Structure 1
């Protein structure tokens, strides 16, 4: 098992919010945060057993609508308009959604720029597995398989099979998990899942240790487990999506439970579950890490109006304003790694933009000595932040016939040769005609 190249991930994040310019426009410029959330439950008793998580959403201003997953009145879209901004599926065993919702409906909901939290367990149905698979996450197919870790389990008087994991392998990102460090380990009990390594949108938020593996805790292993180590994923977010292999991770019992990791003398009165899930949900629902761009401008140096075209070797200025949503308002986004490309087939100019610390990014450069149709392109991707993909097209023309200099210094030898030839021809003609 130590030689296996696969690993276990407890929690994954998929930043489907690779938001390009058109996707940014799908959010309100005044408030990008999702406010209407539909929660689908296997059993209405989950409203009370997971009430702390739901209360944290409601206290932050979310309108949470609870429905049974098989409710025949379920609809997320009506007359072409979405009724909700976010979807939480806490129904791991459901075989078929009620109403008009199905796998395609959930994927269309995500593709339209809305967000999803999906929690499963060892009883995950084919429906839940198919939704996760479409998002690039594969749950362990083994029957009754759960994540086991004999060296990173939580000390417990009732859990003797080492399936209650004390996980502390968090992603290092203040944008996703907040600036405050989560001190206590997160308690996890559930199913593991793996990710497609070629999917660049997937982020592991919480991963298993090198000794974790996925198997049936009540049977003897006859062959190496299919999922081992840090490849086991416990949850993931993508557009933004969070996929968790544990519904219990959101429960009041684990929120309030104390935790002590085996082999560690530190005993925490309260697990890190509540802080971890709350901070992660802020990122998922765009309370953090959401960027927008406005006022993309370009003009010739010394002018203010945007021209219809540039001439080769013109000096131009480019600027764009970028703001970040703080949870209550838009604030200037400050970074030193925003770049612009002046692009035609390939970038002819690549410049890092300077910032005035107030959200405005700007630079100036000379138009290359090549004419054609160019684009100003800003492709900005940073861990945890909305990706910006901005482009603006502009033609570049050569000099017109009346825009060249009348006399070019480098052509003086040719000018001299022409005039000397004319003078010689005149002298030759005069001598030939008038001299015997």
Structure 2
């Protein structure tokens, strides 16, 4: 990801407020207290995608999203007005676009903390591929290459070139894909990508099988393919350091009504599913991308001497203290207690002098007690929490430690 840039917003004038009120009802609902995205700009290569992919769009609308459909080349496109963002998230279903009309800077949008669903296919332009590269993935440089799998293809009346794949190698993460297991394979037809090894923020969500490779299916291989086996990612996600989320898929068809409704049988398997796993997969993954799941907040960080309730101006060395913080997870509708056994606090000055795993009451409260170290100076209570699929937490509070107790003994 490009380095995050923070831009000051312009103060709202009465005119700005009036113009913002012209936005659709509910468009101002995104806030730290309600972190789910609501206003989504959908950029299309062709408006016919509104019909061919209507089931996916309808699932978003049924969950309360406002979708604004535009052609990618529309010269009136804008993500901001008077320094205020008009949208919370962006869906790019425009793989062949050579540029965007109007004023659309996708990377700046993500750097500002907004979310992105990005689908490419064999028509993907260099411009679209370059956006993916900035997000931490690299599509095959061969413009004619698609993912081929002679063992993991989807059985059909005309098996053809085995570019219609039945993929079932999912990331093992309930927070990203939901708690209900995806039983049926996902139908995928498109291009593969690799992950940038230098980018620790990008994860494979759906991988190709060990027998897959990326090449032009209509020509004989003259050299080994660049992308092979399970190193090929079909769908990846990124959670940026500012907690913006990105989904990158190499198949636009994967979201289509045809693939969502289709039966699927993987080559070599006797099981035929009446419905592919596509609808469950794209629905659950979109919930994660749009912060309906896996979004944490920490509040009420506090500390005090054991037996007291007020926060002291200063601790003395070897004082006994209590520390507590509350952590909640957004359910898509409300804040619920977050329950985990791996939240820690550091009592920190240049390096951690105390590192404690916090206990929880299962209702959102995390707490511990410890003795102030035999060192005086300015310390910090620090909670740094990073767990796969969850927004990261980083909070701190300063506390001074005095040598006073030694002078009185």
Q: TM > 0.5 between the two?
A: yes
Retained in 2: the 8 A contact 1:371–1:395?
Answer: yes
How do 1:37-56 and structure 2 match up within 5 A? 37-56=40-59
196-205 vs 44-53, which moves further: 196-205
Deviation readout 1:222-252 (Å, 9 max, x if unpaired): 0000000111111222221000000010001
Please name the residue that 1:211 is paired with: 211
Q: Does 1:92 align with 2:110?
A: no
> Which residue, out of 268, 289, 302, partners 1:297?
302
How do 1:21-420 and structure 2 match up within 5 A? 28-101=31-104, 105-238=105-238, 239-399=244-404, 403-405=407-409
> What is the rounded CA distance, in whole Å, between the counterparts of 1:398 and 1:158 in structure 2?
81
Secondary structure in 2 aligned to 1:67? strand
Retained in 2: the 8 A contact 1:117–1:237?
Answer: no
Size of the alignment, in residue pairs?
379
TM-score (normalised: structure 2): 0.90
Query: RCO higher in 1 or 2 (8 Å CA, sep ≥ 6)?
Result: 1
- How far the C-alpha of 1:158 sits from its partner, in A, is 3.3
- How far the C-alpha of 1:383 sits from its partner, in A, is 1.4
> What is the rounded CA distance, in whole Å, between the counterparts of 1:276 and 1:185 in structure 2?
9
5+ residue gaps, structure 2:
5-28, 239-243
> What is the rounded CA distance, in whole Å, between the counterparts of 2:272 and 2:171 in structure 1?
22
- How far the C-alpha of 1:220 sits from its partner, in A, is 0.6
> What is the rounded CA distance, in whole Å, between the counterparts of 2:198 and 2:230 in structure 1?
16
Retained in 2: the 8 A contact 1:152–1:165?
Answer: yes
> What is the rounded CA distance, in whole Å, between the counterparts of 2:71 and 2:159 in structure 1?
30
Secondary structure in 2 aligned to 1:234? strand
> Of the two, which has the highest radius of gyration?
1
- How far the C-alpha of 1:202 sits from its partner, in A, is 1.2
Deviation readout 1:274-304 (Å, 9 max, x if unpaired): 1100011011101111110110101111221
- How far the C-alpha of 1:309 sits from its partner, in A, is 2.4
> What is the rounded CA distance, in whole Å, between the counterparts of 2:111 and 2:284 in structure 1?
24
TM-score (normalised: structure 1): 0.85
> What is the rounded CA distance, in whole Å, between the counterparts of 1:39 and 1:46 in structure 2?
10
5+ residue gaps, structure 1:
1-13, 18-25, 406-436
Retained in 1: the 8 A contact 2:316–2:405?
Answer: no
364-373 vs 26-35, which moves further: 26-35
Retained in 1: the 8 A contact 2:302–2:323?
Answer: yes
- How far the C-alpha of 1:400 sits from its partner, in A, is 6.8
Retained in 2: the 8 A contact 1:258–1:271?
Answer: yes
Retained in 2: the 8 A contact 1:155–1:262?
Answer: yes
> What is the rounded CA distance, in whole Å, between the counterparts of 1:50 and 1:63 in structure 2?
16
> What is the rounded CA distance, in whole Å, between the counterparts of 2:200 and 2:322 in structure 1?
33
Retained in 2: the 8 A contact 1:313–1:367?
Answer: yes
Are the structure 2 counterparts of residues 330 and 302 from structure 1 closer, same or farther at C-alpha, using a change threshold of 3 Å? Answer: same
- How far the C-alpha of 1:108 sits from its partner, in A, is 1.5
Deviation readout 1:389-421 (Å, 9 max, x if unpaired): 1111222221178x512xxxxxxxxxxxxxxxx
- How far the C-alpha of 1:159 sits from its partner, in A, is 4.1
> What is the rounded CA distance, in whole Å, between the counterparts of 1:251 and 1:396 in structure 2?
61
- Give the root-mean-square deviation of aligned CA atoms: 1.7
